Structure 1
Amino acid sequence: MKNPDFDWVENGLETRLYIQHFVTEIPLSFEPFLYQTADYLNAQNCDRRFSFYLFRKGEALSAACIHFTNIDTSFVSPLRAPFGGVQCDEKCKANELSFFLRCVEDWFSSQTNATKCIIRTAATCYKSADKHFLLFNSYETAGYKITRKFINHHIPVSRSPFVNTIIPAERRRLAKCRKSGFQAELYAKPDFEIVYNFIHNSRSEKGYLMSMTPKQVDVLINKFPHQCRIFVVRDESKIIAMSVTVLVSKGILYNFLPADLSDYKSFSPMVYLLETVYNYCQKEEIRILDLGISTDHHGIEKPGLLKFKKNLGGIESFKITYEKKIEVLLGN
């Protein structure tokens, strides 16, 4: 294993910091979310990553990790991903995370260009209630403040059919799509340009900016073919709805980039598409279909989209961003 650039040792715990242009895969005692893997981090174009890992004495596997990127005078977790933050194993305790976050702060306080630390965390539905409160309390105890808290929706995937989760009005739209002969399916061997242009044009006609560059979408589709699944609804050969989904972990599928054509609004083909995604989750034994937050490109929540996700049986959780001002140590 590569030697760390810095390390801290206290009471049988060790935090290691790796500062690297190319992230080395460190063995973990838990399944990392896609955005915490070396493959994903290395696919993002940035100067350096600052990767912290927590180890217990006598254990070869890391019990927790967090990755940062330096943007201007801020250190941000993550870069070009929906979320980052601390991820840890089921045995992690409050005192361990307290030590871990203190080490993170110690290092940032030694950097003269640092002013604040920003952590965008996964939706609370990704973790058990106990794990959420452990992490929430750890951030709070370490002095982090909540600066953003958005409503997130997810659909728990069960043996029950999708139609049982949605309200009657959406069932009628679903039936209308079927009656019109639309076809919803997994998009095999997706063409990057078709995918990007459809999503870009769909959002542009509704007055929304595209959240990813063409290169970022290309990387996601072509470098992560096993995690990235694209679903479409067609009216004969014409694509009328599309969604790029991301397998964040074995049990969580994120409905990342949904888009549809305004001309088909009365049909609501996105409902038909999501039924297909839900059926895919059932087949692959995926327990959570994450519908994400409902904001525009200014970060303002959209009431109509919030209502739509609720109508589909979406359950509310929260997606939280924490920030902490960094006090640079005198003499640095």
Structure 2
Amino acid sequence: MLAYQIEQLKEDISGKESGLRLCESTLAKCNKKNEQLRAEIQAGLTKLSEAKAEISALRQEEARLNRIIQEGDTARAKLMKELEGLINERDVVGAQLVRRNDEISLLYEKIRILEVTLHRGERQYEQRVEDIRLLRLEILRLRKEKNLLSKGIENMTDLRLEVFNLERELGRERLRVRALEQALETPLNVHRWRKLQGTDPESVHLTQKLRLTQKKVLAQSEMLVLKDRELKETKNLYSAVKDMLSLQPSPEIQQTLNRTQRALTQRTAKMKCLIAELSMRERQVTDLRLELDRGNNELVIFKQKYYEMKRALDAEETRRLRIPSPATPVATEIK
């Protein structure tokens, strides 16, 4: 009985030893796994600290990028405001330029009309100057003829006096001829012809001289009538030329044309300045647009980097949350 109990105790002891060895083996395994879990936990903590540091760096980078984005938005708003101001200024300058172009077109049209009028007036003036030159020559010629005619008229008085004397002499000679004819018809003296011998040639000579003088007087009278007619025509032509010259552009019109040309030159210079300023403004608008596009591109790049970093942080946070707790497997094994 005692032996049986001893055997039973031995069996119990051996069973206990087997259980103890099993427990020791299990404990060793648990310790080993615990060490592994501690190493994993340490590695996880290291990764977690690294992730936290990276998250902190990413958050700092995010804050920096947010500041850059805000600065970019501020600069973009400022550039947009400047761009709107420049666009408004460009529109105003464009409206002024259109108005100036219309004014220039009107001025060019007025200048063209004035130039046409000026050229026409110059041609007419040259023609009138030539007419005046010819008229002056004609007037000089007519004055010379007038002087000659005046001298002829002065001589005409003597000729008229001579004609009067000759006519009176002719009357006397006619009376003498009539008396001689009567004496011939009823001769009282047979030798009467001897007394008339020296008188008949003188009467014939006087008659011829009278006829020649009458012809000269008629010719001079006709010439005088022609000269008077030419003088009247010259006076009429001179009056017509004078009236025509009075219709030509006056010095006041020429001064107005000169002032208009000077004003046009000044307006043209001002328009060139406005066009240059408009070109400069357009270049400034182009530069601002390029700078705005560059700022928008940088903002897009910053946003892409920000979203990529945010996705990386979210992925890291998700991965960190998916790591199992190290205490749970140990408790399960111990149980």
Is the pair's TM-score, using the shorter chain for normalization, greater than 0.5?
no
The TM-score normalised by the length of structure 1 is 0.13
More RCO (CA 8 Å, sep 6+): 2
The TM-score normalised by the length of structure 2 is 0.13
Q: Which of the pair has more CA radius of gyration?
A: 2
Comparing both structures, which one devotes a greater share of its residues to helix? 2
Comparing both structures, which one devotes a greater share of its residues to strand? 1
